[in-house]
């Protein structure tokens, strides 16, 4: 009976740990949405207004006619990591499934993707996908490099990513007249630092 009791306790501990690992790492729950304070909302609203984008908060602003001018207009866009995640939370239905992290020259995203019920074995579960994108400015043009994509923390082979890992996407696809060239031609500088994204537009 003593041996049976030890085996039973061991089995129960193993099952509990397995369930914890599955729920915590393999099948993660949704992310909590980012919320801004009133002061942070006012700062973000002023940035959005500057570029003619809808306000973050629900405060209504009366539209008034005004003469268009570019005089003294700033061409710099600065968003903090918290502001970007708050915009996801406010304006999309993926706020609890995607979070963005900004570090030195790197924009990272973590996403929780629900699988269809008919998906083999893992139907109805969620998978965690992470990805990294290097963003900088060099030789007079933006540099956008896919650093990789991981599934449950396991890096996906480069061949499965179309051999795009560690490839400068602007250089690779910006030679024609497509969207990448238009994007690159309009950027005067781009810089990602710890917790902040800075973009300067050309005239």
pLDDT digit string (tens) for 25-62? 555 566 667 778 888 888 888 877 766 667 776 555 55
Instruction: Round the average pLDDT of the chain to a whole number and report it.
Output: 78
66 within a domain of the structure (yes/no): no
Query: Residue 126: which domain range?
Result: 2-57+77-201
Phi, psi of 50 (to 5 degrees): -60, -30
Q: What is the pLDDT of residue 1?
A: 53
pLDDT tens for 109-166 read 888 877 777 767 666 777 788 899 999 999 888 999 999 999 878 898 999 888 989 9
**Does 146 reside within a domain?**
yes
| pTM of this prediction exceeds 0.75 | no
Q: What is the SS3 assignment for 70?
A: coil
Answer yes or no: is 67 within a domain.
no
> For residue 31, which phi and psi values (nearest 5 degrees)?
-80, 150
Is 126 inside any structural domain?
yes
The number of folded domains in the chain is: 1
Whether residue 110 lies inside any domain: the answer is yes
């Amino acid at each position: 009976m003593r041996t049976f009791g030890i085996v039973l306790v061991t089995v129960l501990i193993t099952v509990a740990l397995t369930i914890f690992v599955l729920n915590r790492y393999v099948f993660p729950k949704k992310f909590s949405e980012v919320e801004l304070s009133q002061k942070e909302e006012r700062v973000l609203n002023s940035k959005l207004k500057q570029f003619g984008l809808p306000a973050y908060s629900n405060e209504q602003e009366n539209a008034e006619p005004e003469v268009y001018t570019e005089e003294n207009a700033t061409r710099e866009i600065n968003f903090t990591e918290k502001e970007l995640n708050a915009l996801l939370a406010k304006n999309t239905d993926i706020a609890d499934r995607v979070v963005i992290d900004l570090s030195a020259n790197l924009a990272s995203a973590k996403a929780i993707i629900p699988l269809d019920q008919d998906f083999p074995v893992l139907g109805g579960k969620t998978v965690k996908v992470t990805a990294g994108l290097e963003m900088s400015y060099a030789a007079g043009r933006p540099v956008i490099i896919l650093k990789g994509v991981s599934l449950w923390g396991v890096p996906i082979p480069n061949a499965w990513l179309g051999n795009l890992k560690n490839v400068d996407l602007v250089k690779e696809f910006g030679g024609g007249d497509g969207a990448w060239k238009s994007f690159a031609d309009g950027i005067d500088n781009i810089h990602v630092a710890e917790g902040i994204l800075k973009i300067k537009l050309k005239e």
